[in-house]
C-alpha cells in the first residue's frame, strides 16, 4: 500500500530555536510572538545543554512584561509567583520563566530580600499572602539549620534544631493556609557529604542521617495535611542534576543551591502550575514499531518483533509496563501507527510477550494516513481537544509533522535507544495532577463503553431515537466532602463545557461547601452502557432575592445527551420554589468554551449585558421554566 505523503517543516533544532528567540528579543517581538515560544522551547528542554539553554532564554523572557503578553494574548494568563528563601536565589528566575513559558504561561515574579523567608512567611500583609499570588515559593537549604548551630556542635544539637524548625514550619504553613490565598511551596533539604564529614565517627553520621530523613519525612507529611501546601522533594532532583551546589558560590555569594538543581526545581514548579491551571494532559498516543516493540511488524512479521527475551527487547517490555502504569491511573492510551489494522490487532491481542492488551487502549489506529490527521480524528472521536494529547514516536519525521501541524500536542521524541524511552516519556510530567480520584482510575473503561454508544448512534434513525434508546439517568444533589477532589479536578481540567472557567483548588471547593450562602451541586449520570460517575457541577450563590450561578461545568464525555438541560432545569425550579425572583448567570469566553455560549439563552435566560471581549450576562425571570428533556430520567435533591 502506498502511504500518503505530507510534507511540513519539522520543529526547530536547538541552534535554530536559540537563534529565533534571540531574534525575537532583539526585535522586541517576544510578547507579540509568545504563542510560538513553547514550540521553540520544546527544542531546548532536553539534552546535555538543556539547563543552560533554558536559563539563558528564560532571562530574555523575564525582561518581557507579563501584562503585555496577556494583553496581546488573553489566554496567556500570567502566574504571579513570590520567591523567598534562605540563600541567594537569583539563578531561579531564568529557568522558572522558561519552564512556565513552555506551557504558555507568562511569569510575574516577586522576589524577596536575601534570607527573608521567615519574615515573609510571618508577614500576613506581605506579597506571599496577597490575594493575586498564585504560588508562594519558600526555597530552603541545609544551611538554614547549620547556620544556627553552636560551635562546636553535636548530633543532638542538630536533632533539636530540626525538631524546632519542623514545628515552626508547621505553624507557619497552617497560618498561610488559613490566611493566604495561593499555594505555598516548600522543599525538602538536601544533606551534603560535607555536613556528614564534620563528624568523624560513623555512628554519629548514621544518627545525623536518620534525624535528617525524619525531618524531611515530616515536611512531606505536612503536604498531606494542608490542602494548599506543596512540598517539592529535592532528593530525586539531586540524583538527576548532580552536585547540590558549588562550594565557592555557596561561601562567597550564599548560593546554597546550584543553578542546575534550581533548574530541575523550576521544572517541578511548572508542572504544579500546569496542573493548577487545568493543563494536565489526558491522552497518551504511542507508535508501535521501535516504540512498543523492536522491529517493523510489516517487514519482520509477528515472530520477528521483540519485546522481551533479548537485550533490546527487555527495554521495550519495560517501556510497555510504564505505559500501562500510566493507563491504570486514568491516562487514556491509544495507538497511532503506520501499519495495517488487522495484523496490529492480532499482535496486541495475542503476542505472548505483549504487556499491553486491547483493554488497555481506548483506540488503536493503524493505517497509512498522515499521523496528524489521525490524531485530529481521534480527538473528535474522544470529544477532547488535541491539547489533551501527548504523542510518543521514534520517527523524527512523524514527530516533526505533528509538532508543526498540531503545536498543541506535546511531542515526546524517542530515538533508537529504547532504554531511554521511559526517561523521555516521564521527563515532563505531562500527566501530573494534584490528586488522583477514583473517577480517574475508571476513565479508560468509561471511554471504552463509548464504543457501544457510538454503535447505538450509528444504528439510530434520528438523534431522538438514539437518546431514547440510551436511557439517560441524571442525578443532581448537593456535593459532599468525598466529592471535593473530583469537583476541583473538573474545574481545573474542563475547558469546553465551562461557562466562566473559574479554576478551584480543593481548598476553594471546601470553602464553598462550608459557606451557608453557596450551593455546590454534583451532577452524575448513567445509561444503558454503564455509570459515568460524577460528570459535572453547578456552583451558585444566593444574592438578595436572586440566585447567581457562578459556573456550570460538564465533562466532554457526556455532551449532547440532555444532561445540562436537566440539571439547570432542576436548579431553576428549585430557585423559584425557594422564593428567588430571578436566576443570574454569565458566560466568559475563552478559546475553547464557545460551545456553551448559547446554553443559557436556550433555557430561557435573557441577555442582561454584553462586553467588548464577548462576555455575556444573563437573567432568567423564572416566569416560564424549561422542560426537562423527555428522554432523561431526573432525580434532583436540594437542601433548602
Q: Is the predicted pLDDT of residue 285 greater than 50, yes or no? A: yes
Q: Where in the chain is the domain with CATH 3.40.50.1110?
A: 78-276
The answer to whether 589 and 559 have CB atoms below 8 angstroms apart is no
Average of per-residue pLDDT values in the chain:
90
The answer to whether 479 and 537 have CB atoms below 8 angstroms apart is yes
- What confidence tens digit (pLDDT) does each residue in 190-200 have? 999 999 999 99
Measure the CA–CA gap between 92 and 264, rounded to whole angstroms.
10
Local structure of residue 293 (DSSP, 8 states): B
- With the C-alpha atoms ordered 397, 398, 401, 403, is the resulting torsion angle positive or negative? negative
Give the pLDDT of residue 86.
93
Measure the CA–CA gap between 356 and 347, rounded to whole angstroms.
10
Measure the CA–CA gap between 335 and 353, rounded to whole angstroms.
17
Question: Shortest CA distance to 307 belongs to which of 256, 362, 360, 347?
Answer: 347
* Record: fold of 453-636: Aminopeptidase (3.40.630)
CATH assignment of 78-276?
3.40.50.1110
- With the C-alpha atoms ordered 90, 95, 98, 102, is the resulting torsion angle positive or negative? negative
294: pLDDT confidence band, cut at 50, 70 and 90? very high
Choice among 4-8, 519-523, 570-574 with the minimum mean pLDDT: 4-8
Using CA atoms, how far residue 491 sits from 10, 283, 495, 535, 566, in Å, is 35, 18, 8, 11, 20
Q: Which residues contact 124 (CB under 8 A, 6 or more apart)?
A: 175, 179, 180
Q: Identify the three-state secondary structure at position 538.
A: strand
Three-class SS string for 136-148? Answer: EEEECCCHHHHCC
Give the pLDDT of residue 4.
38
Q: Is the predicted pLDDT of residue 56 greater than 60, yes or no? A: yes
Measure the CA–CA gap between 243 and 316, rounded to whole angstroms.
31
Measure the CA–CA gap between 76 and 65, rounded to whole angstroms.
12
What value does the mean pLDDT take over residues 412-438? 90
Q: Where in the chain is the domain with CATH 3.40.50.1000?
A: 283-426
Phi, psi (degrees; rounded to nearest 5) at 239? -65, -30
Give the pLDDT of residue 246.
86
Please indicate, yes or no, whether the overall pTM of this predicted structure exceeds 0.75: yes
Q: Where in the chain is the domain with CATH 3.40.630.30?
A: 453-636
| Domain spanning 283-426, CATH architecture | 3-Layer(aba) Sandwich (3.40)
- What confidence tens digit (pLDDT) does each residue in 516-540 have? 889 999 999 998 888 888 999 999 9
Give the pLDDT of residue 12.
58
Amino acid at each position: 500500500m502506498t502511504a500518503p505523503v505530507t510534507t511540513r517543516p519539522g520543529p526547530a533544532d536547538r541552534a535554530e530555536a536559540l537563534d529565533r528567540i534571540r531574534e525575537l528579543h532583539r526585535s522586541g517581538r517576544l510578547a507579540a510572538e509568545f504563542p510560538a515560544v513553547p514550540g521553540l522551547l520544546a527544542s531546548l528542554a532536553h539534552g546535555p545543554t538543556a539547563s543552560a539553554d533554558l536559563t539563558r532564554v528564560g532571562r530574555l523572557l523575564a525582561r518581557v512584561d507579563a501584562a503585555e503578553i496577556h494583553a496581546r494574548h488573553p489566554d496567556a494568563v500570567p502566574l504571579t509567583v513570590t520567591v523567598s528563601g534562605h540563600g541567594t536565589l537569583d539563578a531561579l528566575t531564568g529557568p522558572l520563566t522558561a519552564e512556565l513559558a513552555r506551557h504558555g504561561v507568562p511569569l510575574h515574579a516577586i522576589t524577596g530580600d536575601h534570607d527573608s523567608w521567615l519574615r515573609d512567611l510571618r508577614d500576613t500583609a506581605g506579597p506571599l499572602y496577597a490575594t493575586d499570588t498564585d504560588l508562594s515559593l519558600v526555597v530552603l537549604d541545609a544551611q538554614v539549620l547549620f547556620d544556627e548551630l553552636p560551635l562546636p556542635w553535636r548530633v543532638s544539637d542538630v536533632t533539636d534544631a530540626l525538631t524546632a524548625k519542623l514545628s515552626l514550619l508547621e505553624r507557619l504553613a497552617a497560618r498561610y493556609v488559613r490566611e493566604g490565598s495561593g499555594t505555598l511551596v516548600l522543599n525538602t533539604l538536601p544533606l551534603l557529604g560535607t555536613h556528614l564529614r564534620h563528624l568523624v565517627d560513623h555512628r554519629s553520621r548514621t544518627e545525623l542521617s536518620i534525624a535528617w530523613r525524619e525531618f524531611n519525612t515530616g515536611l512531606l507529611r505536612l503536604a498531606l495535611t494542608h490542602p494548599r501546601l506543596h512540598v517539592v522533594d529535592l532528593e530525586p532532583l539531586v540524583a538527576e542534576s548532580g552536585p547540590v551546589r558549588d562550594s565557592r558560590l555557596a561561601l562567597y555569594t550564599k548560593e546554597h543551591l546550584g543553578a542546575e538543581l534550581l533548574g530541575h526545581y523550576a521544572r517541578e514548579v511548572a508542572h504544579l502550575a500546569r496542573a493548577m491551571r487545568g493543563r494536565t494532559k489526558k491522552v497518551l498516543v504511542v507508535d508501535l514499531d521501535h516504540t512498543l516493540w523492536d522491529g517493523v511488524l510489516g517487514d519482520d512479521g509477528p515472530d520477528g518483533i521483540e519485546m522481551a527475551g533479548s537485550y533490546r527487547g527487555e527495554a521495550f517490555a519495560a517501556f510497555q509496563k510504564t505505559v500501562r502504569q500510566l493507563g491504570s491511573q486514568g491516562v487514556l492510551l491509544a495507538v497511532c501507527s503506520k501499519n495495517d489494522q488487522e495484523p496490529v490487532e492480532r499482535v496486541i491481542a495475542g503476542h505472548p510477550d505483549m504487556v499491553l492488551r486491547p483493554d488497555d487502549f481506548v483506540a488503536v489506529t493503524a493505517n497509512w494516513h498522515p499521523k496528524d490527521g489521525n490524531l485530529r480524528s481521534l480527538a473528535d472521536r474522544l470529544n477532547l481537544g488535541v491539547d489533551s494529547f501527548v504523542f510518543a514516536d521514534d520517527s523524527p519525521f512523524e514527530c516533526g509533522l505533528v509538532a508543526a501541524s498540531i503545536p498543541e500536542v506535546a511531542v515526546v521524541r524517542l530515538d533508537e535507544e529504547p532504554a531511554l524511552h521511559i526517561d523521555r516519556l516521564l521527563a515532563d510530567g505531562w500527566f501530573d495532577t494534584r490528586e488522583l480520584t477514583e473517577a480517574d482510575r475508571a476513565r479508560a473503561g468509561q471511554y471504552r463503553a463509548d464504543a457501544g454508544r457510538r454503535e447505538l448512534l450509528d444504528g439510530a434513525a434520528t438523534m431522538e431515537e438514539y437518546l431514547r434508546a440510551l436511557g439517560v439517568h441524571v442525578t443532581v444533589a448537593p456535593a459532599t466532602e468525598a466529592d471535593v477532589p473530583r469537583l476541583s479536578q473538573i474545574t481545573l481540567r474542563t475547558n469546553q463545557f465551562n461557562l466562566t472557567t473559574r479554576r478551584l483548588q480543593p481548598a476553594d471547593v471546601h470553602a464553598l461547601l462550608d459557606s451557608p450562602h453557596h450551593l455546590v451541586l454534583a451532577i452524575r449520570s448513567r445509561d444503558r452502557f454503564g455509570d459515568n460517575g460524577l460528570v459535572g457541577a453547578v456552583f451558585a450563590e444566593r444574592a438578595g432575592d436572586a440566585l447567581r450561578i457562578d459556573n456550570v461545568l460538564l465533562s466532554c464525555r457526556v455532551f449532547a445527551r440532555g444532561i445540562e438541560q436537566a440539571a439547570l432545569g432542576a436548579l431553576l425550579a428549585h430557585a423559584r420554589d425557594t422564593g428567588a425572583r430571578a436566576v443570574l448567570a454569565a458566560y466568559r469566553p475563552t478559546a475553547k468554551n464557545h460551545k456553551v455560549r448559547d446554553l443559557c439563552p436556550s433555557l430561557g435566560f435573557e441577555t442582561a449585558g454584553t462586553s467588548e471581549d464577548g462576555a455575556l450576562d444573563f437573567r432568567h425571570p423564572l416566569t416560564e421554566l424549561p422542560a426537562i428533556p423527555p428522554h432523561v430520567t431526573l432525580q434532583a435533591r436540594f437542601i433548602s
